[in-house]
Amino acid sequence: MTPVSSSLRRGPAGGPRPQDGARHSRQRPRRRWRQRLTPWLFLLVPLALLITFSYVPIINMIVYSFTDWDGVSPDYTFTGLENYVEIFTRPELFRVFVASAYYLGAAVLQIVLALYFATVLSFNTRFRNLFKGILFFPYLINGVAIGFVFLYFFQEGGTFDTVLRLFGIGGEHLWLGDPDLVNYSLAGVSVWRYMGLNFVLFLGAIQSIAPELYEAAELDGANRWQQFRFIIVPSLRPLIGLTAILAISGCLSVFEIPYIMTGGAGASETFVIQTIKLAFRFNKTGLASAAAVVLLVIILLVAWVQRRIVPEERVTS
């Protein structure tokens, strides 16, 4: 706060200083008003962006969810709760959450792997930085490119099959064509892509732990596992909680990888792909908006329940 007010005081310094007390007191409320306004001026641009690109669309979406809008026509009528009634009376619309279960399993694997690599690479390992780069790299690649690369990777007799054959696992698998395999393949791609992000978050947190703690632990004869168990995990707990929330909301709203790779064909359709199809294939934008609102509510609910179970730890100084 101080730098702001001092810069304000510097403003009138160039002009003639106020001479008499009456003038001085008249200026005071004005300056306070200005002082109160200053932080808002700084917030103006980010707030404008936030409102234009987040809140206005969300409000629009909620409004559309009560209409029969087809997404193009300039006219639409309000239909009340009809869309919501339709969503909850069509159980097949929720069957697609089965696919999300695969991604949830993958998310657990992803967090465990990220934690493992972050721990190993935070100690003195050979080629540490190289491995860090390799692990984080997939996160930097554009999702569309990843979709196309893995489309070739998973082709029958493609790269993956060839690699497996080197290890003596023969046969051609329909990695994307077999309904029993497709979700494992897609979830695998998602682990490959997003593990790097979790890894970097964990690594940062681990490196912020004071080195004296390890030193003291080593003096006391703690081995690496004990250091991990009693130093690293407790200090990472808030971060693991946050990652878990992000993972669950991510699993419920999986989109780009299955959409690019299979278009939701076979058994790989997710809730978001289904919503997109409702909106753009069948021109039921009203119904699709209602589905999107339902998804939003589900995710908020999950986050809330999770926060209840794992309460946020406040920093006490």
Partner 1 sequence: MRRLALTGLALAVTAALAAACGGSGRSTAPATAASDPSKVSGEITVLTNRTDLVNDGTMKKYAGEFAKVYPGVQVKFEAITDYEGEVKIRMNTENYGDVLLIPNNIAKGDYPKFFAPLGSAADLSQKYKFIQSGTVNDQVYGIVSFASANGFVYNKDLWAKAGVTDWPKTPEEFLAGLKAVKDKTGATPLYTNYKDGWPLSNWTNGNGSVTCDVKAESAMATEDPWAPGKDLNVVDSLLFNAVQQQLTEKDPTTTNWEDSKKFIATGKIGAMWLGSWAIPQMQAAATTAGQSPDSIAFMPFPSQAGGSFCSVLNPDYQYAVNSHSPNKAAARAWLDWFVDKSGFSATNQGVSPVKSDPLPSALKPYSDAGVKLIELETDQRILVDNIDKESEVGIKSPDYRQKLIDVARGAAKGDLNSVLADLSARWKAGQQAAA
For residue 189, the number of C-alpha atoms closer than 13 Å in the C-beta half-sphere is: 30
41 binds partner 1 (CB under 8 A): yes
Cβ-based neighbours of 229, under 8 Å, separated by 6 or more: none
Query: Of 62, 242, 267, 298, which one interacts with partner 1 (CB under 8 A)?
Result: 267
42 binds partner 1 (CB under 8 A): yes
Query: Which of these segments, 35-43, 95-103, 190-198, 217-225, binds partner 1 (CB under 8 A)?
Result: 35-43
CB-based contact 237:313 (threshold 8 Å) = yes
Query: Of 244, 265, 296, 303, which one interacts with partner 1 (CB under 8 A)?
Result: 265
Which residues between 143 and 162 bind partner 1 (CB under 8 A)?
Answer: 151-152, 154-156, 158
Residue 156 Cβ, how far from partner 1 at the closest point, in Å? 4
277 binds partner 1 (CB under 8 A): yes
72 binds partner 1 (CB under 8 A): yes
Distances (CA, A) of 152 to 176, 262, 279: 11, 12, 29
13 binds partner 1 (CB under 8 A): no
263 binds partner 1 (CB under 8 A): yes
Backbone angles phi, psi at 78, to 5 degrees: -80, 130
Q: What angle do CA 142, 55, 287 make, to 5 degrees?
A: 80
Residue 288 Cβ, how far from partner 1 at the closest point, in Å? 12
Say how many residues touch partner 1, by CB under 8 A. 37
Query: Which of these segments, 21-29, 178-186, 193-201, 239-247, binds partner 1 (CB under 8 A)?
Result: 178-186
Query: Of 176, 187, 205, 252, which one interacts with partner 1 (CB under 8 A)?
Result: 176
Query: Of 121, 187, 194, 284, which one interacts with partner 1 (CB under 8 A)?
Result: 284
Residues in touch with partner 1 (CB under 8 A): 38, 41-42, 44-45, 48, 70-75, 151-152, 154-156, 158, 172, 174, 176-179, 182, 262-263, 265-267, 277-278, 280-284
